[in-house]
Structure 1
Amino acid sequence: MRKRVFDVFISIAILSLFFWILLLCWLIAILDTKSNGVFIQERIGQFGKVFKIYKFRTININNNSGKIIINRMGRILRKYKLDELPQIFNVIKGEMSIVGPRPDIIGYYNLLEGENRKILELKPGLTGVASLKYFQEEALLKNKENSLLFNDEVIYPDKVKMNLEYYYNHSLSGDMRIIIKTIQLVIFRK
């Protein structure tokens, strides 16, 4: 209950302070992608329940080749994690938390076995311990010959381990430290 109150308070504070940034990013996404600017994807939430996550759209798919193209402004939104801002609405709806494991795409959560399934008892978060370690995950995967294999054999198991540790040790003061570290990473890149 305390975590939910904390999440709603932080979400309302973020919306109050940064609503204009949210609107600006949405307009950029609309103009850059020539769409409604919002990307909605099914993810796995608490207790394995499927929910729709919101992000600002940052890519287009080439109709001729099917190739995914990250737009110029989309790169900036992604670099500063601004494409994730609409997830504040997922937090307000109670589908996500400010801090917790990032929500998996469908197909990964069913790989969790035994004790690792305890992670599903947590609400997914905007940020978390694994998000901090893998803040530059896209760049890390880009340099790998087989990025999917590297993700599945190295990154994903490491994230599961960190998220399970968070499950056993999370607290509001710990969440505040994660939030502060996230802000430092986004703004100062360190």
Structure 2
Amino acid sequence: MRFFFIRVLDVMLALIGLIVFSPLIVAAMVAVWWQDGFSPFYVAKRAGRGERPFEMVKLRSMVKNADRTGVASTSNTDMRITRVGHLIRRYKLDEITQLWNVLKGDMSLVGPRPNVLQAVANYSSEEKKLLTVRPGITDLASIVFSDEGEILRGSSDPDLLYEQIIRPWKSRLGLFYVENRSILLNIRLIFMTIIALVNKPAALDGVHRILVKSNADPKLIDVARRDKPLLAFPPPGMVDIVQSHHAS
């Protein structure tokens, strides 16, 4: 029954969000189209619940066909990001259009972020549990690693760096959510996601309280504080640090 109420909350808030933000979405669409004359949308194929692929709708922040370069992770210095795209990414405008996917039932407002099919194929058996729920627009990891582009800034191999220092903790935070999800947790995470846009330290404090109260892994609690450099670590269910972003 609680999952039914989560879905009801998803639909209600997605409808309200699309209506409220429609002027902003239209303005961003015009700006993206004006800069290069191509579609303002980027339709990304992602793995959904049960590993079923779906098409996630995003406002395009990169040059056309940027995904054909084979680089999945993006740093803030990525030359593929357009001038308008930097603004879209800074204010998370590319996430708003995903409310359409929430209405369709592909996604939830809160849940592990959907990943590309190639990355999911390399999941450990433990990480596969992330695919037992609908992927979301936001979650604990979205708050903790909202500065992902900055973390990867200047890396000669952002995909590998992502696999070594971000994926291990994003997956663990996602698994924590899967094991503890509830309508109350969803509401708290939606609220903290909004707070993170203007006061990330306050949002991180909220994440810390959730993890501590639920007796999460002390290592995860420590990393989620984001007050120390991120170190390479094996993904959950694996014993070795990833040495290649093509490794399984």
Larger radius of gyration: 2
Give the alignment partner of residue 60 of structure 1, picking from 60, 63, 68: 63
Runs of 4+ residues deviating >3 angstroms: 143-146, 187-190
Q: 2:145 maps to what in 1?
A: 134
Provide, for residues 8-60 of structure 1, a one-character-per-residue CA deviation record: whole Å limited to 9, x for no partner: 01101111211111111111111123212111111111110111111111121
The alignment's TM-score, normalised by the length of structure 2, stands at 0.71
Residue of structure 1 equivalent to 2:233: none
CA deviation map 1:103-124 (0-9, x unaligned): 0011111222233321101111
AA in 1 matched with 2:172: K
Which amino acid in structure 2 is aligned with residue 149 of structure 1? L
CA contact (8 A) 1:61 1:68 kept: no
Q: Indicate the structure with greater strand content.
A: 1
Give the C-alpha shift of residue 189 in structure 1: 4.9
Shift of residue 99, structure 1, vs aligned partner: 0.4
Question: How does 1:1-190 map onto structure 2 within 5 Å?
Answer: 1-60=4-63, 68-190=79-201
Matched residues in 2 for 1:119 and 1:58: separation? 27
| More helix by percentage | 1
Equivalences, count: 188
Q: Distance in 1 between matches of 2:132 and 2:92?
A: 26
- Of 104-113 and 42-51, deviating more is 104-113
| Identity level (%) | 29
Tell me how large the CA RMSD over aligned residues is: 2.0
Question: Higher mean Cα deviation, 27-36 or 131-140?
Answer: 27-36
Structure 2: distance between partners of 1:166 and 1:139: 24
| Contact 1:33–1:59 (8 Å) recurs in 2 | no
